[in-house]
Amino acid sequence: MKLLLRVAGGSARRLCTVAATRRRGPGRRLGIEGNIAVGKSTFVKLLGKTFPEWHMATEQVTKWQNIQASSSKEGSSFRSFGNLLQMIYQEPSRWSYTFQTYSCMGRLKAQLEPIPEKLLKTREPVQIFERSVYSDRYVFAKNLFEVGHLAEIEWIIYQDWHTFLLQEFGDQIALDGFLYLQASPEKCMERMQRRGRSEEKEIQLQYLEQLHTQHENWLIARTTEVHLENLKDAPVLVLDVNKDFEDNPEEQDKLMSKNKGQEKPVSWRRLLAQGKITVLYHFKSRYAGEGICEVSIIWHSCLWSPSSGPLFVNTWIQ
């Protein structure tokens, strides 16, 4: 059974989200996915302020910008080997494989980290990862191969060790679901230009359009060929972040509560009892309590067929 959850807006302050229960171990582990400059870092910071008891594993951009290694046997001093982020944008055909290898290993290390001590004291421990080993392959590396920046032999080698590592570590790195921050490529381009990261000044809209398509194919249309069974039906919470929310508290609150549909509310408990969904995981906000959050659910049931298109039901998690 496949489950996709699509939110009519996205807010950190009143966030209710979902996760499957396939992964062993305490708590929930969720990956935040989205295009370049979609607002992931801003969203993660907002989550951290709203839910200080959660653990946020942020993307290690500063490491990409300054690759370092020990320059002595004692390891007391380090030598810089350059800005890998700048190198991939300047010479993508030369540095794509190097960058994707390094970035994926960093994501793997983050997902392998033991549960932080502060989470051991919480009733419902939650870990948030800014991007994951999955988007590294099924969005970024895949796109680099398709546009010709990764040679076929590099793509084959990348997939070989990626598959091996994910199978080897299994549940240790598995995520319970994804939060997909969705915005148009044009909006991402606008935000990218506004933040002014020097390495990104040569990025064209076409590249953001390609990455947007890769995200949509993987997380929405589900047309990307994935090689892990537990990833094929991973739940996805889609947050529309086309409206700027960084400095707009009203928008932060409004996005999640916005009611786009007019259909009659349906209790998730009823859907669960009917077997139309597997598990809904309700996060309570300390700001909004257990207030009502509007979402839409797409599910694949015995009454649904691909020819009929997605089946939407507006529902309230209550």
Spatial distance between the Cα atoms of 111 and 67, rounded to a whole number of angstroms: 21
d(CA 148, CA 142): 10
Q: How far is 151 from 94, CA to CA, in rounded Å?
A: 10
Supply 8's token pair.
């009519």
Q: Which burial class, exposed, middle or buried, applies to 183 when counting CB atoms under 10 A from its CB (0-12, 13-18, 19+)?
A: buried
Q: Determine contact, residues 215/34, Cβ cutoff 8 Å.
A: yes
Task: Write out the catalytic residue numbers.
Answer: 130
Question: What gap in Å lies between CA 200 and CA 133, rounded to an integer?
Answer: 22
Instruction: Tell me the pairing of strands 78-80 and 3-7.
Output: unpaired
Show the tokens assigned to 163: 């598959």
